[in-house]
Structures are given as C-alpha cells and as structure tokens.
C-alpha cells in the first residue's frame, strides 16, 4: 500500500453529493475566497488532498463487485490483476448461460478493503 498507481474510487457520486450541498454557495458567491475541494482514494492522500479546504476520503468497506459479462471489454485483465497490492485478484473464466467470459475473481480474505 505504499503508493497506488491506479485510482480505486469512483468519484462521480461523491462529487455529485458535495456539489448538491455547495451549489447555492457557489452560485451566490458566498465563499470568502477560492475554494479547493479534493478527493483521495485512500488514506495515503497522494496529491496533497489534505491541503485542500474540503478534503474527502473515499474509503472502501467491501471487496469490489464484479460484472463478469463486461469486465474484459472495460479493462485489460492482466493490468487489473497487477494493480492489486495484496494479490487478491486472480484470473478466472466465468460461464453465464451458454457463454464463457474471461474475468477475475477476488480472494476476499486477502482484499485490503
């Protein structure tokens, strides 16, 4: 966990919730100065997120859910396996209906989330 090279948090939901709360303040110029809102994907906070006016930490509590049908079309499976710092992701073949898909499996006991 020394340094991640891949973002692990989808920020779209967090950004939407934050901007819903702050929208009127931005629109009516009620902020005292420029405001910096940043989000970190883990506790390492690379990118100096902690120096922002508002810092949001995306903390995972559960192992990732997998969509086996689309996984091999959305990312390169060897890169997804290599990105895991605890080797909790391994290659897998999944059969859905009469089709076989290249996918991954997560060893939940090794997953750091």
Least confident span in 1-10, 28-37, 66-75: 1-10
Residue 4 lies in a domain: no
CATH number at residue 96: 3.30.70.20
Residue 98 lies in a domain: yes
Residue ranges making up the domain that contains 33: 12-57
**Does one domain contain both 74 and 52?**
no
Residue 16 lies in a domain: yes
Residue 5 lies in a domain: no
Q: Which helix (H) or strand (E) holds 81?
A: helix 77-83
Residue 17 lies in a domain: yes
- Tell me the mean pLDDT in the region 21-34: 86
pLDDT at position 5: 54
Q: What is the pLDDT of residues 86-101, one digit of tens each?
A: 888 999 999 998 999 9
**Does one domain contain both 53 and 73?**
no
**Does one domain contain both 20 and 52?**
yes
- The rounded distance, in Å, linking the Cα atoms of 88 and 60 is 15
Residue 113 lies in a domain: no
Count of domains for the chain:
2
pLDDT at position 29: 87
* Neighbour count for residue 86 (Cβ, 10 Å): 12
Q: What is the pLDDT of residues 47-95, one digit of tens each?
A: 677 788 888 887 777 777 888 888 888 888 898 888 887 888 999 999 9
- The rounded distance, in Å, linking the Cα atoms of 8 and 25 is 29
């Amino acid at each position: 966990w020394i340094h991640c090279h891949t973002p692990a948090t989808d920020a779209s939901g967090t950004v939407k919730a934050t901007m819903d709360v702050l929208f009127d303040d931005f629109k009516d110029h009620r902020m005292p100065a420029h405001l910096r809102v940043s989000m970190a994907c883990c506790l390492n906070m690379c990118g100096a997120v902690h120096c922002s006016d508002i810092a949001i930490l995306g903390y995972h509590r559960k192992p990732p859910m997998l969509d086996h049908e689309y996984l091999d079309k959305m990312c390169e499976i060897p890169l997804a396996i290599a990105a895991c710092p605890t080797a909790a992701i391994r290659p897998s073949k999944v059969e859905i209906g009469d089709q076989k898909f290249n996918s991954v499996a997560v060893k939940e006991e090794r997953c750091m989330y």
